[in-house]
């Protein structure tokens, strides 16, 4: 991991100052954008976790990268090539290396098409002959742990976990460099989730794939990702390698997220809960922050007047980038409350 | 004549039928209404279009000696005021309305369907323009406009019916737009777009097939409307000119002779009506709509498990013994579940989906879904068995003694009423207080559940609240009757993790403050560790392990619990993340196909032959139990459910 | 809310304009001319041209249209080509007849339909089956045929009601009601069937909602769950369909008026069509559209009052 971080390999996916606004009406322009100036890279073979709660804009970023939601500003580069404004048709050639796995394994497969038809579809678009396409479909299914004769069957014959494997096979069948994983396990039961996560980890290690892993669950992100970008209301709060960010957060919002995720150890969880309650985060229902200040200020125990008026820029604090005026105090905050052992 | 609204779209499942069974006739023909409708329509079409070949008389052949005759061998359906044969005229008249209504349907779909697809694809701007235009069309009085058209161009049936198609295409657009938009939200459409499929192919392959059912329903319904309007116009004399026959004109004839020959109204009216009925029966059959009403629930006698001992360990507020829940006349969903909850303690029912935890929770309030009921066991609530109570007796318990909060806070509140109304009604009922007093208490309750501006929230409607806020209101609602037991079904699953933490803290506070007993259903072991004092792990309809949360989670005795814990990626700060997680092969067996013996045996790494025969739970974790015949062996061997090695999923060793 | 009302009003005006434009274009796009209608087959080409000039028919279309709109705003719909009477006056006298039929039929359909639909949804079982099948057949029956049946049974066989004719309300209110009852009943058969279906489906949907379970979990009395909470939830689709019903009944009354010889808008439009009385034709379209548009506006207000999501949007 550290070797990868140091290598100067050009990013497979490069996102700069991405802004996405929904709606074009004047009223929509007055609302804060769904994604507000987000930048990050994914190097070949690297998994970047995009984490945040509902309304953080994480799925919107995925859509903008895939061309499903046109960005209002900023650039998206794939293998160095600008695809920001490319239509889906142009992407047929430009974005061969970019694929997707969606959250809901039930609505992501067309129930009227066989698995074979679904898998061959992207290959047909690329002009792969049908026999070759069929062969690759079978191969890819086997590589995600499904029998090759799956091609003849319909989605309704499979369980949620199996469907998600099929969706992964569809993403991999044309051998992409980057796969957007939009909450790929959050609709699954715990044991199924575990096997799909294992599969993704194996594929990541085996194929030198870049993953943009979108999730609301920091624990799952920590399992799969090397780097993580923490979003709140469309803005990056903190980013960096996954261990420093999750183990020694430099942003109060990251602290709120990590401390709120419960662990299945009653004694530890009791201590963590008491520590979190002592931190003094204000409720999520609180009013939105001012458009000029830090979006998290209304909930933040460290917030000062500065936070409410001046939007903090991302800056490097130790190993991470954080957008907090008081990043240096965050360690003391968690230390004092005993969140960190 | 009333014009039917095209009303069925929202009731029709847009999920296309399973295509694997191609040999069988389509589903709508398997319903009696659909079959009869289809047969009648086919008969009428064949009879109408072949009428010139077989009709016994010419349409204009007059038999003045037998005017207004009743049915006879010579004239099977009788004759009209000019002595013309009704059967011949009736059959001949059919071709034009059938064809003309088909024209209306084709024109309406030819315009409405492509516009709907375009609007759904191009997004809000195009959609707004198209929708506003169609709204204008929808507000035009159809028949009057058609009359105006006839006034100008004359009674040219096919042109007039095509104009009707144009006007009604607005309605087709409206309905198909809704369907197209919902289909386009399905992820496979996005996946196809990411794959680089062109817009036409996306629509043809992925969008249109899913719209077929609704389109067929609408087409059949529209066909019926076309027939009625066409007949109405010819009734007014704007159809084919005499001596050409038309259904409408024949009914007009009948109306003129209602005094001297009432029979005349029967053949023409019946053929027209039956044809429209047939079209509408087809609509219902395609839409999969049955006229079957709600199944009435019967409380059925519950087989009691042993006698109720009122002495002994009486401290439990709730004691469930051997609870069995089953589909009436169908498979068992929950079997032999037992647990106890004490005041001021929280019990967690934990397991994966399909393990029966929600059914167990709901049976505590007698709120099982229709067609599912308690088939055995006892639910002892302060000495009384709730399982045998009538709906009326249960209603006295609900809210007052046992309350419930559910998984989706946004839909758990009535969208049509203000929060104030929803809180004040039960407060007045439960506490016998006046409106003003109830409102004051409502505000207090909202403050108690951590809402900082109760007055504003009281004035709000559910759709104006966030998920976390709505769940707080739902908890306040559950507290209106000062219950002693709260049943919470996945109360935080739909919420963000920071909001979940707040709601769990709130619940914990309530437990301590008012000595509430809580049964919480969750799939999340972390939530259980956070809030539960005791836990019952459920698998395939039974409790496989129970005990205090600390004992069960820290020292799991059942392989299923062990596996679940090892499959969980969440670890506390300072611990390393596992390289791979534990997995459990296979899936939870469905109700009705549970094996004898251990239901987990088929997926268990430690299963032996001893597991395949029935056995009873063993005591474990102090007051708890474990349903595993090998539990002691496993404990002695210090067995653990190992995590996978890297590469196991792709069938190869990978560089770790 | 204010912008919502504004948008609805704009749409209403737009609809009336569209109706005028469509009928205007229809009338002018065809070979016939008012001169020819007035003079009949005996008129020569020169006479017809002169008459057309007199009527302003040879002016540019835009000018005629603007002229018509100008009069329309003052409530003037022109004069009939056939008898030279004021069209506005004539239609004004006929509107109450058609409106009474449509309003009464809508109200009766509403009451009957809601009772039947709610009963089917709440009771279930055989009763629901009967109501479901019955309404499926009833909504397919042509009202003008049902009308004949009713005339035969209620008027001729049982002698309960007059078969045809119209008694103005001002002359004899009871007679008025009696003269309208048969046509109203004929229209109600299909109307009530549609409302019954909508109400049954709406009620079933409402009773299956999650919030109903919340109410049950609170021990709320069953009548309150059904007739306060579920019915309120089901009322929005029912009211919408009632509005559509009214519009359909208003247009459809043309045919039923013919059957029962009632002096309503329908008779006027049928006469105008038969006689090619162009100004009368446009007049009927305009009046009918205005009624529809006003109904739609009222409907929007009722829905907004019922549904807080619409009201607070």
Higher-pLDDT residue of C301, B511:
B511
- Average pLDDT of the segment spanning B8-19: 41
A121 assigned to some structural domain: no
Helix axes B32-54, B265-287, angle to 10 degrees: 140
Alpha helices in A80-149 (DSSP H): 88-94, 115-125, 130-143
Q: What is the rounded distance in angstroms from the CA atom of residue A32 to the CA atom of residue B150?
A: 55
Give the model's pLDDT for residue A4: 44
Q: Determine whether the interchain pair B191/A223 forms a contact, defined as Cβ–Cβ distance below 8 Å.
A: no
Contact B262 C152 (CB under 8 A): yes
- The answer to whether B18 contacts A68, with C-beta atoms less than 8 Å apart, is no
Cβ–Cβ gap C219/B224 under 8 Å: no
Q: What was the pLDDT predicted at B9? A: 36
User: Do B550 and A267 count as a contact with CB atoms less than 8 A apart?
Assistant: yes
Q: How far apart, in whole angstroms, are the C-alpha atoms of residue B470 and residue B104?
A: 48
pLDDT at position A7, please? 52
Average pLDDT over residues B101-113: 96
Probe site for chain B from A62, A95, A198, A207 (most B CB atoms < 10 A): A198
From the CB coordinates, do chains A and C have 3 or more pairs under 8 Å?
no
Contact (CB<8Å) B497/A194: no
Contacts of C244 in chain B (CB under 8 A): 5
Supply the pLDDT for residue B8: 36
Contact A152, A114 (CB under 8 A): yes
- Chain B: touching chains (3 or more CB pairs < 8 Å): A, C
Rounded Cα–Cα distance for residues C216 and C221 (Å)? 8
Mutate to test the interface with B, among C22, C113, C148, C233 (most CBs of B within 10 A): C148
Chain Cα centroid distance, residue B58: 55
Average pLDDT, chain A: 88
pTM score, whole prediction: 0.88
Q: Do C11 and B254 touch (CB under 8 A)?
A: no
Between chain A and chain B, the number of residue pairs with CB atoms below 8 A apart is 239
Tens-place pLDDT, residues C238-291 = 998 998 888 888 877 788 888 888 899 888 888 888 888 888 888 988 898 898
CATH 1.10.3720.10 fits C96-307, yes or no: yes
Task: Enumerate the residues of chain C whose CB falls inside 8 A of the CB of residue B33.
Answer: 136
**pLDDT at residue C279 in the model:** 86
Query: Which residues, numbered 202 to 241 in chain A, qualify as contacts with chain B under a Cβ-Cβ cut-off of 8 Å?
Result: 202-203, 205-206, 216-220, 222-223
**Which residues of A are less than 8 Å from B498 in CB distance?**
53, 256-257, 260, 281, 284
Helices (H), B155-303: 157-184, 187-194, 199-201, 208-235, 247-256, 265-287
DSSP for residue B204:
I
Indicate if the pLDDT at residue A178 is higher than 50.
Answer: yes
Neighbours of chain C (3+ CB pairs under 8 A): B
- Cα A148 to Cα B606: distance, rounded to the nearest angstrom: 30
pLDDT at A26: 64
Mean pLDDT over each residue of chain B, to the nearest integer: 87
Q: In what order do the strands lie in the sheet with A73-78?
A: A35-42, A13-20, A73-78, A81-82
Residue predicted with more confidence, B67 or B114: B114
Contact C18 B413 (CB under 8 A): no
pLDDT over 60 (residue B308): no
The Cα–Cα gap between C163 and C260 comes to 7
Fold of B316-344+351-401+515-572+594-656: Rossmann fold (3.40.50)
- Residue A283 pLDDT: 81
Residue B315: pLDDT band with limits 50, 70, 90: low
- A21 inside domain: yes
Question: What residues of B are in contact with residue A57 (Cβ under 8 Å)?
Answer: none
> C217 and B403 in contact by Cβ < 8 A?
yes
Q: Which of B131, B604, B521, B498 is closest to B337 using CA atoms?
A: B521
Q: What value does the CA radius of gyration of chain A take, rounded to a whole number of Å?
A: 21
| Closest residue to B293, CB basis, from C124, C250, C269 | C124
| Residue C46: burial class (beta carbons within 10 Å; 0-12, 13-18, 19+) | exposed
Q: Which of A68, A198, A257 sits opposite B498 (nearest CB)?
A: A257
What residue numbers bound the domain in which A303 lies?
248-341
Closest alpha carbon to C25 in B609, B145, B139: B145
Yes or no: say if B61 and B90 are a contact pair by the CB < 8 Å rule: no
pLDDT band at B622 (very low <50, low <70, confident <90, very high): confident
Cβ atoms of B138 and B108 within 8 Å: the answer is no
Residue B409 CB contacts under 8 Å (≥ 6 apart), including other chains? B467, B468, B470, B471, B473, B474, B494, B495
Domain boundaries, chain B: 30-59+78-287, 316-344+351-401+515-572+594-656
Q: Which fold has domain B30-59+78-287?
A: MetI-like fold (1.10.3720)
Please check whether residue A220 is in contact with residue A200, taking contact to mean a CB–CB distance below 8 angstroms. Answer: no
Res B14: pLDDT: 43
- The residue whose two tokens read 């064809």 is B99
Q: Which residues of C fall within a CB distance of 8 Å from B129?
A: none
| Residues B253/B25, Cβ–Cβ less than 8 Å | no
For residues B415 and B505, give the distance between their C-alpha atoms in angstroms, rounded to a whole number.
27
Strands B542-548 and B384-385 turn out to be: unpaired
Count of B–C CB contacts within 8 Å?
285
- B445 neighbourhood in chain C, CB within 8 Å: none
Cα of B470 to nearest chain C Cα, Å: 12
Nearest to B529 among A197, A222, A269 (CB): A269
Average pLDDT over residues B161-179: 94
Residue A29 scores a pLDDT above 90: no
Q: Measure the CA–CA gap between C38 and C36, rounded to whole angstroms.
A: 6
* pLDDT at residue A288 in the model: 61
3-state secondary structure chain C: CHHHHHHHHHHHHHHHHHHHHHHHHHHHCCCCCHHHHHHHHHCCHHHHHHHHHHHCCCCCHHHHHHHHHHHHHCCCCCECCCCCCEHHHHHHHHHHHHHHHHHHHHHHHHHHHHHHHHHHHHHCHHHHHHHHHHHHHHCCCCHHHHHHHHHHHHHHHCCCCCCCCCCCCCCCHHHHHHHHHHHHHHHHHHHHHHHHHHHHHHHHHHHCCHHHHHHHHCCCCHHHHHHHHHHHHHHHHHHHHHHHHHHHHHHHHHHHHHHHCCCCHHHHHHHHHHHCCHHHHHHHHHHHHHHHHHHHHHHHHHHHHHCHHHHCC
The secondary structure of B47-78 as a DSSP string is: HHHHHHHH-SS-TT---GGGTTPPP-SSSTT-
Residue C161 confidence (pLDDT) above 90: no
A99 - beta bridge partners?
A: A179
Which of A54, A104, A222 lies nearest to residue B496, judging by beta carbons? A54
Provide the residue ranges of all domains of chain C, joining segments of one domain with +.
2-73, 96-307
Q: Which among A89, A161, A258 is the nearest to B198, CB-wise?
A: A89
What average pLDDT does the segment B305-319 reach?
54
Distance from CA of B345 to the nearest CA of C (A): 21
Residues A239 and A328 in one domain: no
Residue C85: pLDDT band (50, 70, 90) is: confident
Q: Is residue A129 domain-resident?
A: no
Number of Cβ within 10 Å of residue C301's Cβ equals: 15
Of residues C154, C233, C273, C248, the one with CA closest to residue C194: C248
> Hey, is the C-beta of A138 within 8 angstroms of any chain B C-beta?
no
Q: What's the pLDDT band for B226 if we cut at 50, 70, 90?
A: very high
CATH number of the domain to which A92 belongs: 3.40.50.300
Shared domain for A220 and A303, answered yes or no, is no
Q: What is the pLDDT of residue B313?
A: 44
pLDDT at B296: 41
Using pLDDT thresholds of 50, 70 and 90, give the confidence band for residue C84: confident
Max Cα-Cα span within chain C: 85
Do A19 and A82 lie in one domain? The reply is yes
Whether the predicted pLDDT of A335 surpasses 80 = no
Q: Do B415 and C211 touch (CB under 8 A)?
A: yes
- Average pLDDT score over residue span B47-54: 92
- Give the nearest chain A residue to B499 (CA atoms): A284
Q: How confident is the model at residue A27 (pLDDT cuts 50, 70, 90)?
A: low
Give the model's pLDDT for residue A304: 92
Contact A209, A221 (CB under 8 A): no
User: Rounded CA gap, A42 and A74, in Å?
Assistant: 16
Closest chain A residue to B535, measured at CA: A266
Look at B144 and C285 and tell me if their CB atoms are within 8 Å. Answer: yes
pLDDT of residue A2: 42
Domain count, chain A: 2
Crossing angle between the packed helical segments A160-172 and A190-207, to the nearest 10 degrees = 20
Instruction: Give the model's pLDDT for residue A64.
Output: 93
C48 is written with which tokens?
A: 């017809």
Q: What is the mean pLDDT of residues B461-471?
A: 92
Q: Tell me, yes or no, if B356 comes closer than 8 A to chain C by beta carbon.
A: no
For the stretch C29-71, pLDDT in tens is 776 777 777 777 787 888 888 888 888 788 888 888 888 888 8
3-state SS class at B30: helix
| Residue B321, beta-bridge partner list | B378
Check whether A56 has a pLDDT greater than 80. Answer: yes
Q: Is the four-CA dihedral B64, B66, B71, B76 of positive or negative sign? A: negative
Cβ of C241 within 8 Å of Cβ of B7? The answer is yes
Q: According to the model, what pLDDT value does residue B301 have?
A: 46
Whether B567 sits inside 8 A of A258 (CB atoms) is: no
Q: What is the pLDDT of residue C54?
A: 80
Percentage of chain B lying above the pLDDT 70 cut: 91
Asked whether the beta carbons of residue C281 and residue B151 sit closer than 8 angstroms, the reply is yes
Q: Last residue of some domain: A247, A271, A301?
A: A247
Q: What is the CA radius of gyration of chain C?
A: 24
Query: C-contacting residues of B 130-159, CB under 8 Å?
Result: 132, 135-137, 139-145, 147-153
């Amino acid at each position: 991991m550290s070797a990868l971080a140091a290598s100067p390999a050009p990013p497979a996916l490069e996102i700069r100052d991405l802004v996405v606004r929904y709606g074009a009406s004047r009223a929509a322009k007055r609302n804060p954008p769904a994604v507000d100036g987000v930048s990050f890279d994914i190097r070949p073979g690297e998994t970047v976790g995009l984490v945040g709660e509902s309304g953080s804009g994480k799925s919107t970023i995925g859509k903008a990268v895939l061309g499903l939601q046109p960005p209002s500003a900023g650039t998206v580069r794939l293998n160095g090539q600008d695809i920001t404004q490319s239509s889906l048709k142009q992407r047929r050639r430009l974005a061969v290396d970019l694929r997707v796995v969606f959250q809901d394994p039930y609505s992501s497969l067309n129930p009227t098409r066989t698995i074979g038809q679904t898998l061959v579809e992207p290959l047909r678009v690329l002009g792969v002959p049908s026999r070759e396409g069929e062969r690759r479909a079978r191969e890819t299914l086997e590589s995600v742990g499904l029998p090759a004769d799956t091609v003849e069957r319909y989605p309704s014959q499979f369980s949620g976990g199996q469907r998600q494997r099929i969706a992964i096979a569809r993403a991999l069948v044309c051998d992409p460099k980057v796969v957007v994983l939009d909450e790929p396990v959050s609709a699954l039961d715990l044991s199924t989730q575990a096997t799909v996560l294992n599969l993704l980890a194996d594929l990541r290690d085996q194929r030198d794939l870049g993953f943009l892993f979108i999730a609301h669950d920091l624990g799952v992100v920590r399992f799969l990702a090397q780097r993580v970008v923490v979003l709140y209301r469309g803005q990056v709060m903190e980013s960096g390698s996954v261990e420093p960010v999750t183990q020694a957060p430099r942003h109060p919002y990251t602290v709120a997220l990590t401390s709120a995720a419960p662990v299945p150890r009653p004694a530890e969880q009791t201590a963590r809960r008491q520590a979190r309650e002592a931190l003094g985060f204000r409720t999520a229902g609180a009013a939105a922050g001012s458009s000029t200040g830090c979006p998290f200020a209304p909930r933040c125990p460290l917030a000062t007047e500065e936070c409410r008026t001046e939007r903090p820029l991302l800056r490097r604090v130790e190993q991470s980038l954080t957008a907090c005026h008081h990043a240096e105090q965050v360690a003391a905050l968690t230390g004092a409350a005993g969140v960190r052992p | 004549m009333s014009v039917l609204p095209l009303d069925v779209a929202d009731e029709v499942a847009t999920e296309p039928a399973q295509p694997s069974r191609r040999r069988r006739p389509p589903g709508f023909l398997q319903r009696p209404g659909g079959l009869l409708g289809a047969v009648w329509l086919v008969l009428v079409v064949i009879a109408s279009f072949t009428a010139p070949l077989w009709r016994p008389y010419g349409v204009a052949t007059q038999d003045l000696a037998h005017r207004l005759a009743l049915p006879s061998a010579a004239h099977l359906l009788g004759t009209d005021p000019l002595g013309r044969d009704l059967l011949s005229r009736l059959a001949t008249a059919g071709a034009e309305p059938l064809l003309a209504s088909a024209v209306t349907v084709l024109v309406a779909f030819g315009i409405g369907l492509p516009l709907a697809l375009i609007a759904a694809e191009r997004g809000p701007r195009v959609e707004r323009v198209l929708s506003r235009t169609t709204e204008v069309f929808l507000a035009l009085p159809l028949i009057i406009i058609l009359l105006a058209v006839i006034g100008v161009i004359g009674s040219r049936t096919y042109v007039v019916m095509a104009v009707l198609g144009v006007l009604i295409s607005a309605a087709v657009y409206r309905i198909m737009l809704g369907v197209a938009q919902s289909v386009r939200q399905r992820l496979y459409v996005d996946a196809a777009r990411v794959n680089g499929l062109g817009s036409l192919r996306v629509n043809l392959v992925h969008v249109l097939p899913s719209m077929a059912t609704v389109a067929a329903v609408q087409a059949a319904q529209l066909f019926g409307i076309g027939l009625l309007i066409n007949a109405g116009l010819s009734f007014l004399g704007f159809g084919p000119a005499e001596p050409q026959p038309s259904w409408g004109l024949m009914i007009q004839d009948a109306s003129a002779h209602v005094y001297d020959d009432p029979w005349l109204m029967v053949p023409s009216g019946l053929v027209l009506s039956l044809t429209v009925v047939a079209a509408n029966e087809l609509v219902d059959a395609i839409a999969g709509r049955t006229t079957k009403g709600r199944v009435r629930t019967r409380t059925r006698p519950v087989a009691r498990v042993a006698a109720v001992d009122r002495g002994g360990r009486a401290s439990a507020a709730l004691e469930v013994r051997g609870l069995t829940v089953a589909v009436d006349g169908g498979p068992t969903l929950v079997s032999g579940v037992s647990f106890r909850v004490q005041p001021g303690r929280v019990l967690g029912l934990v397991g994966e989906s399909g393990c029966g935890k929600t059914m167990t929770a709901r049976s505590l309030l007698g709120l099982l879904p229709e067609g599912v009921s308690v088939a055995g066991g006892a639910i002892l609530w302060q000495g009384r068995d709730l399982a045998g109570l009538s709906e009326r007796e249960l209603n006295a318990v609900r809210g007052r003694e046992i309350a419930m909060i559910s998984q989706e806070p946004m839909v758990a509140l009535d969208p049509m009423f203000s929060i104030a109304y929803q809180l004040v009604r039960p407060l007045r009922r439960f506490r016998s207080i006046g409106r003003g007093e109830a409102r004051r208490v409502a505000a207090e309750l909202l403050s108690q559940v951590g809402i900082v501006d109760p007055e504003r929230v009281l004035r709000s409607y559910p759709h104006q609240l966030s998920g976390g806020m709505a769940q707080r209101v739902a908890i306040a609602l559950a507290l209106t009757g000062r219950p002693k037991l709260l049943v919470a079904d996945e109360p935080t699953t739909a919420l963000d993790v920071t909001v979940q933490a707040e709601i769990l803290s709130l619940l914990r506070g309530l437990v301590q403050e008012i000595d509430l007993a809580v049964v919480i259903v969750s799939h999340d072991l972390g939530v259980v560790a956070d809030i539960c004092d005791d836990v019952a792990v459920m698998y395939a309809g039974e409790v496989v392990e129970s005990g205090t949360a600390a004992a069960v989670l820290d020292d799991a005795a059942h392989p299923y619990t062990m596996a679940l814990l090892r499959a969980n990626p969440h670890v506390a700060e300072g611990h390393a993340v596992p390289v791979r997680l534990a997995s459990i092969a296979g899936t939870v067996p469905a109700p009705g196909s549970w094996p004898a013996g251990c239901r987990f045996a088929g997926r268990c790494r430690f299963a032996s032959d001893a597991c395949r025969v029935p056995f009873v739970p063993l005591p474990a974790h102090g007051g708890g139990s474990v349903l595993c015949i090998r539990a002691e062996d496993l404990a002695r061997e210090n067995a653990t459910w190992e995590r996978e090695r890297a590469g196991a999923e792709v069938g190869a060793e990978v560089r770790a | 809310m204010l912008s919502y009302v504004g948008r609805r009003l704009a749409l209403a005006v737009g609809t009336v304009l569209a109706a005028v434009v469509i009928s205007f274009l229809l009338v002018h796009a065809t070979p016939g001319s008012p001169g020819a209608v007035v003079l009949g087959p005996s008129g020569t080409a020169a006479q017809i041209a002169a008459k057309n000039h007199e009527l302003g028919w040879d002016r540019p279309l835009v000018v005629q249209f603007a002229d018509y709109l100008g009069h329309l705003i003052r409530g003037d719909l022109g004069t009939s080509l056939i008898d030279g009477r004021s069209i506005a006056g004539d239609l004004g006298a006929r509107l109450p007849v058609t409106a009474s039929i449509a309003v009464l039929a809508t109200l009766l359909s509403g009451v009957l339909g809601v009772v039947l639909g709610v009963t089917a949804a709440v009771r279930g079982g055989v009763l629901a089956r009967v109501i479901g099948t019955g309404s499926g057949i009833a909504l397919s029956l042509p009202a003008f045929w049902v009308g004949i049946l009713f005339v035969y049974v209620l008027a001729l066989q049982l002698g309960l009601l007059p078969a045809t004719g119209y008694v103005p309300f001002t002359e004899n209110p009871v007679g008025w009601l009696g003269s309208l009852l048969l046509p109203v009943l004929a229209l109600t058969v299909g109307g009530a069937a549609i409302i019954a279906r909508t109400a049954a489906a709406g009620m079933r949907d409402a009773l299956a909602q999650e919030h109903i379970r919340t109410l049950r979990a609170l021990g709320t009395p069953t009548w309150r769950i059904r007739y306060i909470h579920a019915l309120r939830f089901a009322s929005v689709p029912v009211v919408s369909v009632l509005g559509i019903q009214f519009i359909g009944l208003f247009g459809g009354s043309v045919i039923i008026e013919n059957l029962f010889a009632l002096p309503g808008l329908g008779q006027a439009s049928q006469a105008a069509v038969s006689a090619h009385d162009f100004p009368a034709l446009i007049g009927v379209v305009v009046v009918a559209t205005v009624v529809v548009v006003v109904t739609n506006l009222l409907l929007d207000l009722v829905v907004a009052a019922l549904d807080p999501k619409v009201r607070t949007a």
